[in-house]
Structure 1
């Protein structure tokens, strides 16, 4: 009887087992502002560009996103390709004079079309030379490579390092930069530590409530159109600085992307922080923050409604919004000064004093007092506000004296 023995495992086999154990990680649902902004942009079918230092986890995030969304991932290193790889290679047929010369797409594009869906990851975008960036314009905007049209199920995400940390880096051309949603990718200490321990956050598409889609679109259109009506100079504003031209800046194209993202974020019930990343990533920090402030003011209650029922008025919790509401109420009384409206405004200020920070009523109370007519009796509510106003003025005078002493030294 012949005995067979199993040969001992080689060191490479043991190393393979160890690598398999290290790669055995799990995911968990975890709030992540960056990841939510990325998935919302992907859901909105907008090209996204992740900016971050080398090794920050951009590629890992895209790999995990593709796995979570069950999309095949196709990675293309933009900087190692020729322009013809994105515009198509000319193929001479039997009779070019009659049939023309078709532009053959690369194999990765053909695979994406066959699959009908996928996540196209354009890596190292900031190291692609200008000629390659120019060839990418049609791919990013029209989803065409040569004569091939990518199917609607394909999403495009790119990654880039800042020029200061990119190998032979280039600034992005303004036409290419203006086609992306720009998201700054940074690391979260807790996420990294927990991930190295074997558990990474899970990416998931936003939960869009089907019942509120029309309202979300209406809000987005009203917000963006109203804002641009008030700020026409921001419809198109090409930065003068070369570096800023390679980022997010306002144009009709990027405002269209902003409108779409506001609608998606509203339908998904996303936080203000996520919405801030999205709008600043399309039109830039300045215009984006102005739009956010405009959205806040859109949600403020109508001063006339508050004056009609001061006892039942609900004031915003946030201090800056509450201040804006009180200022609006006083402005409404100034425009149409009537005794009943003046009394109602005092009642609102008392309500604000009882439910929020006292210092927020100082300026509105002082302005409202200056609107009094000679035949209007001072309401009893003023007595409750007088102490706050007096204390605030004393504090201001004390601060002024301290500043004067410091200046005299």
Structure 2
């Protein structure tokens, strides 16, 4: 069953407190680990991340240690198993890239997942298992997961990247507005299935995250090279072309200086750019000017872009909701936008 990032977050927030294990599948780099981390924080759980692909089957059982009589041995827990057994607070034990692990390592996890014990070692009741894996078609070294292992999860879901989910994350994490505007313009480039075995990156939320981190660091003449290394040459070429449009736009501050007269773009690429740039500059103090410009966008027939502007502004600067301009605007078209109408 495919789920959006928002749906997965809500689902895990319900399952984790009930100690129900969940297996998350999906393409590489679409945010599976990030969502688990967010859920751990939201539910006040500690997070223990294990990578079964680098484990030995005996790691799950413990290290044999001779008893004082020298005739017997006990398996002493160590590493992640020891930490989970000693957990005093609620803990999410996250098995990342489970599908890349050998069948022997997967089999060693079965008793832990269902019986919550292995041998004489019993896990505390406040430990919850989550796991993630790429799919067999993702060229990620996944050969499959044993059916008995799959059946030990309360539910199995496939995470699918969406531009709405990524945008909300991007706004909260101060991703450059021009990159947000570009991916809104070309949402099909957010996550692209790799079709070759060449050593190159393809677009994914993770690789676009690297682009976001380097955009303000790499000089313009190296931008195409840098971005191509992160998301592939085709996507990088389109981004560079879009950035040229973005940089030639009127200064957003100038638009806000005369919002009743400033130009209203007509092409989708320019509208995405303007809406995202203005949202990044919106504050409680200048939101009356933002409202004036947004109302003119609606009158010009660009209601969708006006909605993007207002919602981004609120996501980025929640204090805007306290402004007189925001309160006044809720009685009109902008109010309908805020309510999702």
What TM-score comes out, normalization by structure 1 length? 0.39
Rg comparison, structure with higher value: 1
Please identify which structure carries the higher helix content: 1
